[in-house]
Every structure is written in structure tokens, then in C-alpha cells.
Structure 1
């Protein structure tokens, strides 16, 4: 099942045959027409909420209800209208999809988490201590940083080129969505906490960035994360065997798989939940494989990298996975 956020009211939708089905309204119709429920809308609001965070929190009940509604709408319903005559599904190409991020959710991003990415960065480094720094990042357990959920953009939305950079980079990543609340989760108990999967382009400023106090500044700016296009749920995916690719203006730059993560998602869930509660809707992003502009460019003696491979206004970047979908964005001038 593909769960999306659509329309001006940011409602939960189910993607079916190039359509977006309003899950909550479709379930209310299903209840009204197949049961003796006296208050079908109230029950639908409780069991198949229209808001993503509440929908995720409901767990299997919401997913099963949404699936029942879709099955009924496609095979048995007399029409495709809701209880008040409103449309229940919309053409995907004509519908605005938002980033599938629940309000207030935290976005945890793995750092230095693909061996090939770190190896390529080390080989292209001019610094004498770079290999040592990168080794420290890989050793000693997972490392991460946080993205601001208010800086997230969606598939198809323009990415604003930050005025403070000459070297804007892309990072193709897979993100898992936490499905239930938990703290101090053991690694062996972690997989049931994964609710679904989406794609993430972790846009990054690379101008003389160090792994120090200013690192978060290079990772957080308006449109600094593209997430979407939807969340893949209950399709039997192996979190450690998801392919991903990145193209810039049609040219393949990254081609990797989550099987190459240094620390897998279970390890990250264990690490992040130590003394800290994870909540439904929180995202954990994988880190990125080799092929970014920064790990493909030879570092200069002043610490900078040639800007030929970095994206510029007018470039189009696509992150995709054959198991999830694709997110595509054009980079625009900060003055646009």
C-alpha cells in the first residue's frame, strides 16, 4: 500500500491505479453502506484518521480500514462519491502531493553511514587527517543529525539554492517511518517499529564544512530535505535490501543499496531510542552511498572542492528506487 498526503487540507490518501483515494472519506462511505453504524463519520475519524500522525498511530486498524474502503469503492460501491456527494478519488497527475511527514515529527539522518561514500570521500581528500576523521565517524556506533521538519519539500517542488553556497550537493537516501511509540528498544526487537518506507534527498551545503558545531547549519535551510513521494507500507520490503539511485539532469550519479549501510536501521532504532522515546511518524534516514558531488571531487588544499559536479540553479535532480518510487526537483535561484 502507498500512503500519500494530498490536497489543500493535507489528508491521508491511498494510491491506487494512478488515483489518490481519500482514505477517511472512503471508509466513512464504506461503513455507511455496509454496516448499521449510526455515526459512520465519527467512527471513520477514529479508525482511519485523515491526519497522517494519527493514521500511523492507529497502526493496522487504519491500514485495514483503508484497504477495506478501497476494495469496496473499486468493486461494490454504486458510485465514487462520498456521503455528502464529494469526490473520493482524484487523478494523481492533477493532485498536489505533499511530503509524507507527520506534523512535529523528528527527522533523524544517519551520518557517515555508507562505506563506499566515506571511502570515496577519503580518497579525494587533500587533508592529512581526513582519513582519521572519517574513521572516527564510522567507528563507535551510529552518528546522526536532525533535519527541521519545517524545511521539508515534496516531489515536484522547487528547491531553493541557498545564497550562502557555491557548492550545493544531493544525497539519495531511504527513510523508514516509525510506527509505534517505544524507548530502549533492543536491536532484535526493532523491525516491528518500522511502519513504512519513503525516499529522502538530503540537500547539503559543502562549502568548507567541518564536523563541528556549524555542521547543522550546512544541513538545515529552506527546502533542505525532499521527502516522498509517498510511504510504502505492508509490501514486505527488507529494510536492508532497498536499491536507490540519483540522477542529475538525467545522468546517473549514485547507484546504491541499503545493504551497504554501516549501521543498519535496527541498530539506529536501538541507538536513537536509548533513554529517548521514539514516536509514530518519526523518520530515520539511511545516509547516502557514493556518487555525491563532494565524494566525487578532489578536495583542494584550502579545503574546498571544484564546483563542476555540484548542482546549480536550473539543474533537475531525481532520487528513485524501484521498490518505492521517485522524487524529482528543479533547483531554482534564491532570487526566484
Structure 2
């Protein structure tokens, strides 16, 4: 299953991919006289709302009129997850990225967080804050929790992952390095864009997905999730030993090499207004954001 989250007349809406395109769940529900969910987060958290979505999808073949569908080119996207309980991130999780930053590979997953105010959508502009001039990009596979995970084993862990999306762990490097905690450099407003599509776990193998990023059309990052130091199962299990992961929680799983920080210091050209980032992961799509 593939879902998008968008705005229509000021209201939150879900689109679900069918053979005819992305079905506007709200319009379909009205035509079928069925209740409907408005947030993908709620589909994960509430079994009743998940059942509502399944009921609409079961009758989607009867809705062939283009008026029931939305265009990916024209829709106004919202972050695929707008109300996660926790935004967690894993640092230094590709060996080549560790090498380019001249740092030491972690012996355990390096966990930090972002605030929900950092969320942004596909095609949404990302403001560069005042007082920082070292803003960097980091394309990442984002794992989405679908079932509570507490003290789960690596063998059990993927049973608790509902699906995946694309994230860009945008970072103000000077703020990140200006404190022992990374939070200030990681959580400025809109520094966690997500999207454009949420793909359920049954459609993807998270251990072997091509992952790449372009800056103004130039390929800067290009790798595969098979090069993760700690895979998704290990990450979920490790975090769950410390606190419970709840449905709707999201985990940025680390970025490959090619970030600006990894360039020689005299070649580091930091992000500036007008720069366009395209973050692509196989099987999910391309998340596009412009800095302003």
C-alpha cells in the first residue's frame, strides 16, 4: 500500500494508490457513504481508522471517475506523518559517512532526536535560519513504527515496523558542533522534511534499497541501505531496550557519504537560498525541497 498526505480546502486528506492513480479517500468515502481517516498517523494508531481505510480501498474499483483522484503534480503535500509521538534519528550509520567525517564508528546505534516542529512536506520550502551559515543535507530511509515495541529482539523487530518513507535530516553543522548535544543543529523549523509517499513494509526490502541525493541536479550522495552499519531490525530492537516505541513513531536511520561536511574544508559550499534538494529512495520516490 502507498499513501500520500495532502491538504484540500484547508483540510487534512489521505490519498491511496490504486491502478487509476491516487484516490482521494475523503471524496471516495463520501461517494460510498463510509467514514474515513484524515491522517496517516491515525491509521497506524487506531485499528478502527485502519479498518475504515481498508473498507474504502475494497470498493475503490467502483470509482473510476477522475474527479475522485488527485494529481501528484498538482496536490499540496503535507508531511506524510504530521503527528508522530517521537522523531528519532541514528547518527554515523554508514561506514563511508563515518570515514568522510573523520570520526569513529559507533559501537552501538547513536540515537538523537528532532522536534515535531521540524517536520516539512514534499515540495515545501525550508528556511535557512539566521545566525547559521553551514546548513547541510542528509538523505535517509525513515522507518515507521506500526506496533508497540518494548524490549523486542532483532528477530522480532521488523514485525513492529509498518512501513517506510524518505527523510532529509537537514542539519546546521555549526550549531550541531557548538554543543555536546546535537539537538540545536538538528531541530530548526522545517529541518525534517518527509515524503512524498509512505510505503507499507510488505512492498519493500529495507536491507537493499538504492538511496541517493541531488543538489541542483548534481548527484551528491549515492549508496544502498545494505551498507547500513546497524540495520533497521537492530536499530528498532536497540531503541526498544531503553523505552517503548509506539505506533506512529518515526526513525531516521542514517545518511550515506557525500554530505557537505565530508568535503575538504576549502571545498565546502553550504546550502543557500534557491538550492533544490532531490532525495530519492528506490521503491518510494523522490522528496524535493527548495531552501529559502
Q: Normalising by structure 2, what TM-score?
A: 0.90
Corresponding residue to 2:117 among 139, 146, 150: 150
Q: Contact 2:261/2:268 (CA < 8 Å) preserved in 1? A: no
- The residue aligned with 1:233 is 200
The SS at the match of 1:160 is: coil
Q: CA RMSD in A?
A: 2.3
Deviation for aligned residue 1:52: 2.0
Deviation for aligned residue 1:258: 1.1
- Alpha-carbon separation, structure 1, partners of 2:23 and 2:131: 41
- Alpha-carbon separation, structure 1, partners of 2:30 and 2:160: 28
- The residue aligned with 1:119 is 99
> In terms of Rg, which structure is larger?
1
Deviation for aligned residue 1:235: 4.6
The SS at the match of 1:173 is: strand
Deviation for aligned residue 1:232: 0.9
The SS at the match of 1:157 is: coil
Deviation for aligned residue 1:58: 4.5
The SS at the match of 1:100 is: coil
- The residue aligned with 1:71 is 61
- The residue aligned with 1:91 is 71
Deviation for aligned residue 1:69: 3.0
- Alpha-carbon separation, structure 2, partners of 1:195 and 1:9: 25
Corresponding pairs, count? 288
- Alpha-carbon separation, structure 1, partners of 2:137 and 2:150: 32
Unpaired segments ≥5 residues, structure 1: 33-40, 81-86, 123-130, 299-304
Q: Contact 1:3/1:231 (CA < 8 Å) preserved in 2? A: yes
- The residue aligned with 1:14 is 16
- The residue aligned with 1:108 is 88
Unpaired segments ≥5 residues, structure 2: none
- Alpha-carbon separation, structure 2, partners of 1:69 and 1:147: 39
Q: Contact 1:102/1:281 (CA < 8 Å) preserved in 2? A: no
Corresponding residue to 2:152 among 173, 178, 185: 185
1:72/1:190 CA distance change after superposition, 3 Å: farther
Corresponding residue to 2:274 among 314, 331, 335: 314
- The residue aligned with 2:284 is 324
The SS at the match of 2:177 is: coil
Deviation for aligned residue 1:20: 3.3
- Alpha-carbon separation, structure 2, partners of 1:17 and 1:292: 37
Corresponding residue to 1:198 among 165, 174, 186: 165
- The residue aligned with 2:127 is 160
